[in-house]
A and B are shown apart, each in its own frame.
Chain A
Amino acid sequence: MAELEEGKEGAAVTKSTMEAAGSIPLPPLRLPCQPVSSHEHKLNFGKSKEMCLNFIQDAMLQKQWNRAAEFLTFYAEALEKDFSRDYMGPSEIIWRIGTEILCHHSHSGMKEFNSFIEQMKTFGVKRYLKVCLEHSFHLLCNGLVDEAYQNLSLAESWRFGEHTAIRDKEIKLIQAYKGLLDYYSWSKQKNILLEHDEDEFEDLSVEQEMHSYFRKAAVNLKEIIKIPGVWDIFVKCYVDLLEFYGDDEEARQVLSEYAYNSKFPANPNAHVYFYQFLKRHGESKKSLISALKILHDLVPSHELMIDFNTMLQKSKKRKNRRLGLQVIFAVLDYAGWKENVKAWSCLARQVKQIVISDKHPDWIEQEWDSRKDWWPAFHFSHYLAKKNWQENKSLSYEKALVAGIILGKDCKYFRYVSHQGCKAQAKKFRILKKFVNKHIPVHLRISGLSDSSVQP
């Protein structure tokens, strides 16, 4: 019966598409394989099934959705003999392909889609939860949040089949998404309350509803973030809930668990959330620095490293300023930061500071030591000097400053930029030139020392 319905469904689709395709005359559909005799056909059933699938795929990959739909109606026959123990049986194939076609088909609406999926749910018992989840995704993406919620609730209460690890995961995920939707409802209610709060408006029922949403959301969200994984959105929502109700301890624990539990993947966002939480709650500089230090070790190229560098530069501790230099040098190692003015100005500022104060030029030396063989080609080539000058003058200024101090005034980059700058009568560049000329000894020291360090 199921396949009959599927056939009907497919046929309906076909009919509508044929009508729709009236504008583009297509040659009549040729059956992929003409069955020679029924006996032979039976023998070749598996083969022709495979062929039909190939045709469907082919049409889909060429975006001929109407055509694929027509072929799919033939493929529905494959359900007749679905005794396969394959990982993916025909029912799942039909579900996948049908969904895809209906998503792209010009003449399918939400109604057709829903009825198709309902059928799919009935004969894809093994994959029931997956189909449900995907169905809710479809509804969510189309803005039908309430329907999606209903769907998720139905799926959650489904109790058939054997318990497998995959199924447990899927159930957890369904619950988590349900919790997420509860959270959105909660936050909607919260906003209503907050808005009306100003008007001294109080509605107990709204507030109660909000709390009930909170409870539902919190239970489900709490569950999912116990499993190792990337749960950024769930964690964020859960922490938001907790913070609203003032449970900062729990929130902190959740976040630190999410960031520092070794079973979880090394997700930079986990550290970012933790850092932001600490910052929101006005934690001490020390704890902020230690949070960011860990992030620096994990992802030296993270955008927060600029903040980190500024924070460290302001620090009174020598160790921290030293770390700041390391951080900004490491940031600029990455191709993604190559043309970032902010990062270069951070480095330029710190290098300038060091040179002017004449304290710890060895810091620059040590940082430079591991970069001297590739930074000149990577950052300070003549080509880049030209390009940066054309595209971004302030970038080339910052870079020229660093190049001038570290590589000396004969460095190609510095020479080109200062020359162009002086030609353009920019005062900034003249000062730069003077500054670099004044601090030649620093460069000599860096290069001299680095030379001697090579010798042993």
Chain B
Amino acid sequence: MEFPATLFPSSFSTGPPRDEGGPAPAAGWGEYGQVLEAGRGHHQAETRFVPRHGRTGESWEPADVAAVPFLPPNATCWLPLLAPQDILYRSFLHRKLQASISGPAVDFTKQLSHFFVDHPEDAFGSLGCLLHKNFHLGDSGVKREARDNTIRMTALMEEINRLDARRGCPQKYLASRLRWFSHLSRDWLFEVPIGLLADCVHEELLLQWAGLLFDDGPTGGALAWLPAEDTGARTGRLVYPGGQAMNHLYFQDVVLKELPSARGSPAEFELNGRIRQVAAARTNGEDFVGVRSDYHCGIWRVPGRTGAAPTPLQVIRTSMPASCLTVSPHIPGELAVCTQSGSTYLWNIEKGLQRLRHDSQTMFFRDHSPWRWCDFTAHPRVLSCADRTGLQCLDARAPERCQLDLFKVGEEASCQQGERVVLPMYLGRAHPSQHLVTTQFSMYVVDERLPLVPVLKWLHMMKAPPLFAHLTPGDPGRSHKLLLGASRTQEMMLLQYQGGGQLACRLVGPPQKLHTITGCLEHFPTQLPHRHCLLQQRLGIPAAGLAAVLQKHGPRESLLVFQLSEAGDIFCQRLTHEVAQPLARTSGDKPTAAPGSSPLFEDPASSPQHLGSEEEKEEEEEDEQTSYLSNLEVMINEEEDGGRPAFLEEAELTQEPCASPQPSPVVLSEAVALRYRRWLKALSKRCGEPPWPSCPTTCGQKRLFTREELQTQAGPSILHQQARQRMHQAMREGGRIQCWDLLDSQSSAILKPPEPVEGPDSLSARLTAAWSGDWSQWWEERTSFYRTQRQRALRERRRRQKRARGRRSLSASFTSSLTYQSELSELSDTGLPPLSPTPPQEGFPPRGSPPPSPVPDEALLSSQSLRIRGIPKERRKTLRDYLGVWTESPLEPPELPSSQVSQLCIPSSQSQLSSASQTRRKRPRMGF
């Protein structure tokens, strides 16, 4: 272990970090840092100098224009990620709160109100049961004998409902009745005391917010590559989490080719929690894989030879979440574990756990973060322990006595103010005594033999702190490749450095950015708008780990980089060393995987020029909605000659602003394009439609056509089949369809617009109109036609009802008038407002907001529907009564002494109620 004979000059001072601006945007560029004389013999005529931050390094060029899916998409649940607007105040209240307090204004009242509306039994159950006899909801007066014990709540309910209508109005005042009730009931109405509940919700939301800002859970990454024992073999094993909750651990054999492919099915283990980190190290020819979830850590042994099954060895449970798990590269079956309580353990599968340190305080200065990390060093008994303030080495044989400060956030390493350690890593494979320390601003290489003074420092300029790192050691004389990866932004950066032995450590070559998973989006086949959004969301999920493999075959070298997302998708990309011959593009190659090797490559015999949308269409016949939409999509695209559909532009705009206009000649090789298509197909197949309202399964009132219309039309007719066959054939041959005349006379219907008179159904009429380009005109015609027709029908019905009303009771007449109202709204929903003929795209419900389908009150009142809603029999009458009093004037509020009307209690309850129904239109039932 040689130590560099001369180190780069640097000054050294102690103390807290300088007060210096903060993250600077371009701070990593343009500096040599320091220079050092290169050769030893300075008595030669020419003195050569080498800089600390060198400009020339090996050049690694990406082989493809984007990352490529490696495995089929993970069948994860489609929970949209938490967004700041989900938990922060967005209303005027937000501005008010912001003015008064610093820090995030967490909207816990919204969450509370959701809870009250969604789980009234849990929120108010017992008192609801107790009091429901004493609360009268009917419209009739309370009987004299019951008046002692019963009060009428009808007016109150009305007030509550009226709040909905006033929502968003900053000037809204509160009805004194509500104020009174909330003041009266806030102490006893809730199952859990409201203050306590609010405290807990607030606390939880703050935690969520902190996690949104920076989540250190996945530190270290949950992806590991286990190389084959025989270095020449182009195989290896990838260890990654998957499954719906990311709680399955997979060991997948991988064959490395131009594009890596999976071989056989992976070994799978189901674990007891979400996998946060997968760490691996090879000792004595065997791989040891440590897996960390929040409260469990486990270790697997994987024999080096290919095909050998991994065996689970031991599991430990922690009472506090574990924050770190590293595997010893020196001694088989030894790991280091840290928990958020500040404890560090050395874990040997034979000897058990040994606690090295327990300190809830941070090491060098006070920091609130409970995150701890530890890793191994050049000495197998010495571990480096880290928290946000720095690194310390301690000897496991005498952990209290033998300590050494290795890295300190402070002036020693010329840190900036606010800089914190994000990820330490032992770089033993490059040089036995080197460690990597990343902070949110910089990366440092630290040598154990020269503590406190980093031998290399570079400001990495990444937008999110690097949580993952991977080292690919270089041969002697070559550079070590260091990959840094961020979670939230998916950034990956490739750095090269040299030295540590004879020569001082220095960076070589400029940093390089690798493709991200998000960047693949534009290479997928064009999607329907909502699918595009889904895909965008899916690809934009934060990264959860990275791994890399260096492949050498002859003069060619390539670095294969895998990136895992939190959804469990794995993408890979290949970088090739430029000195080597450029890799032959795989264009024209068929995917060469062994049959059945990977689900992505199943049945490669099918025509490679298969259209993705075509396949989907055939596969999803059961979902008419989608296939119908996909038909429509084709039309949209053809209609809009002027530019790309608006949704695409929009999607682009919402992308990261840093995605600069690419000069890249976007050429995907055939195999890569096929992978994208297969991945997409598998995604829609495996994950199905997400169960959120963006894609309602029922036909709402805002649909252009009814379900029946679709059913009759969507099925492929003989004509369609013929056309499709011809299309397929033409595509296979790479030719084009010159004329459709060869088809039978019917086929002319496809090209020539049929006579409008003959168009028997609206769909074909509409398609025809769309084909000829005057769709909007057709639209207007149709809506006006329908409107007049329906108005006529309605008028007819009203007349009939009027006649019938004479014989009915008042309440029945009320019901019918309700029907009338609902029909009116139905009409205005179905037909478009006469003033604005809506452009075709807007005919769809906007994503994320389902069409508010008016609930017909008849349906609400029918005893069946009441039963379905879980309303007990004895209350159904009450409810019907209650709904029946709508037209009556509300009761006079009971007189209250003014002292009882407290102003203080209002805002919280009011905002609960008002924001309760922001998205849900359920009536708060409040347990009675």
Q: Taking beta carbons and an 8 Å cutoff, which residues of A are in contact with B?
A: 26-27, 29-30, 32, 50-51, 53-64, 67, 71, 86-88, 92-93, 95-100, 103-104, 134, 137-138, 140-141, 143, 145, 169, 173, 176-177, 184, 187-188, 191, 224, 227-234, 236, 263-269, 272, 298-299, 301-303, 333-337, 370, 373-374, 377-378, 381, 383-384, 387
Contacts and interface: CB of A to CB of B under 8 A. Distances in A.
A377 B286 CA distance: 13
15 contacts: A57-B25, A86-B21, A88-B24, A92-B24, A97-B30, A140-B35, A143-B48, A169-B11, A173-B9, A191-B43, A229-B12, A230-B7, A333-B379, A334-B1, A370-B397
A56 B28 CA distance: 13
Given A55-B660, A228-B12, A266-B450, A87 B49 contact: no
B430 to A, nearest CB: 11
Contact of B21 (A67, A87, A97): A87
Contact of B450 (A96, A145, A267, A334): A267
B513 interface: yes
A93 B26 contact: yes
B380 A333 contact: yes
Interface in B370-387: 378-381
B820 interface: no
B658 A57 contact: yes
A269 B6 contact: yes
Given A27-B665, A71-B660, A381-B332, 19 more contacts: A32-B661, A55-B660, A55-B661, A86-B21, A93-B24, A95-B30, A96-B26, A103-B30, A137-B32, A141-B32, A141-B35, A173-B9, A230-B450, A232-B5, A265-B451, A267-B450, A302-B3, A336-B431, A378-B380
A454 B531 CA distance: 67
Contacts of A92: 24, 26
B284 A104 contact: no
B30 A134 contact: yes
A269 B7 contact: yes
Contact of B47 (A86, A145, A224, A263): A145
A203 B35 CA distance: 33
B452 A336 contact: no
Which of B286, B330, B332, B493 neighbours the largest number of chain A CB atoms within 10 Å of its CB? Answer: B330
Nearest to A264: B12
A87 B12 contact: no
B11 A228 contact: yes
Given A63-B510, A97-B26, A100-B30, A229 B660 contact: no
Contacts of A230: 7-12, 450, 453
B582 to A, nearest CB: 14
A381 B42 CA distance: 46
A87 B23 CA distance: 9
A98 B512 contact: no
A57 B332 contact: no
A62 B31 CA distance: 18
A100 B29 contact: yes
A343 B20 CA distance: 47
A192 B682 CA distance: 76
B640 interface: no
B27 A88 contact: yes
A384 B282 CA distance: 13
B462 to A, nearest CB: 10
Interface string B594-610: 00000000000000000
A134 B658 contact: no
A59 B660 contact: yes
Contacts of B412: 265
A56 B285 CA distance: 46
Given A93-B26, A229-B11, A141 B51 contact: yes
9 closest pairs, A vs B, by CB?
Answer: A87-B21, A96-B30, A336-B1, A336-B432, A61-B513, A99-B30, A88-B24, A229-B11, A55-B660
Contacts, number: 217
Given A187-B42, A231-B9, A301-B1, A54 B660 contact: yes
A191 B329 CA distance: 50
A61 B13 contact: no
Which of A51, A63, A184, A272 neighbours the largest number of chain B CB atoms within 10 Å of its CB? Answer: A63
Nearest to B395: A370
B130 interface: no
Contact of A303 (B3, B11, B31, B32): B3
A184 B47 contact: yes
Interface SS of chain B: loop
B286 to A, nearest CB: 8
Contacts of B331: 374, 377-378
Given A141-B51, A266-B451, A176 B9 contact: yes
Contacts of A272: 3, 5
Interface in B499-539: 510-513
B340 interface: no
A292 to B, nearest CB: 14
B663 A60 contact: no
Contacts of A100: 29-30, 55, 510
B710 interface: no
A141 B24 contact: no
A184 B42 contact: yes
Contact of A104 (B31, B493, B510, B513): B510
A272 B5 CA distance: 9
Contacts of B719: none
Contacts of A88: 21, 24-27
B380 A335 contact: yes
A210 B691 CA distance: 84
A61 B1 contact: no
Nearest to B304: A383
A334 B379 contact: yes
A333 B6 CA distance: 25
Given A61-B493, A88-B24, A335-B330, A27 B663 contact: yes
Interface in B301-319: none
B511 A268 contact: no
B12 A268 contact: no
Nearest to A94: B26
A267 B447 CA distance: 11
A187 to B, nearest CB: 6
B461 interface: yes
B657 interface: yes
Contact of A336 (B8, B24, B48, B433): B433
Nearest to B285: A383
A57 B26 contact: yes
B30 A61 contact: no
Which of A266, A299, A377 neighbours the largest number of chain B CB atoms within 10 Å of its CB? Answer: A377
A102 to B, nearest CB: 9
B37 interface: yes
A44 B57 CA distance: 38
Contacts of A30: 661
A67 B32 CA distance: 23
B658 A335 contact: no
Contacts of A302: 1, 3, 449
B281 to A, nearest CB: 12
A114 to B, nearest CB: 15
B34 A137 contact: yes
A53 B23 CA distance: 14
Nearest to A64: B663
B449 A301 contact: yes
Interface in B252-288: 284-286
B452 A265 contact: yes
Contacts of A145: 47
B451 A384 contact: no
B839 interface: no
B45 interface: yes
Contact of A268 (B3, B27, B493): B3
A336 B378 CA distance: 7
B25 A335 contact: no
Contacts of A63: 59, 510, 512
B513 A335 contact: no
B24 A87 contact: yes
Contacts of A231: 9
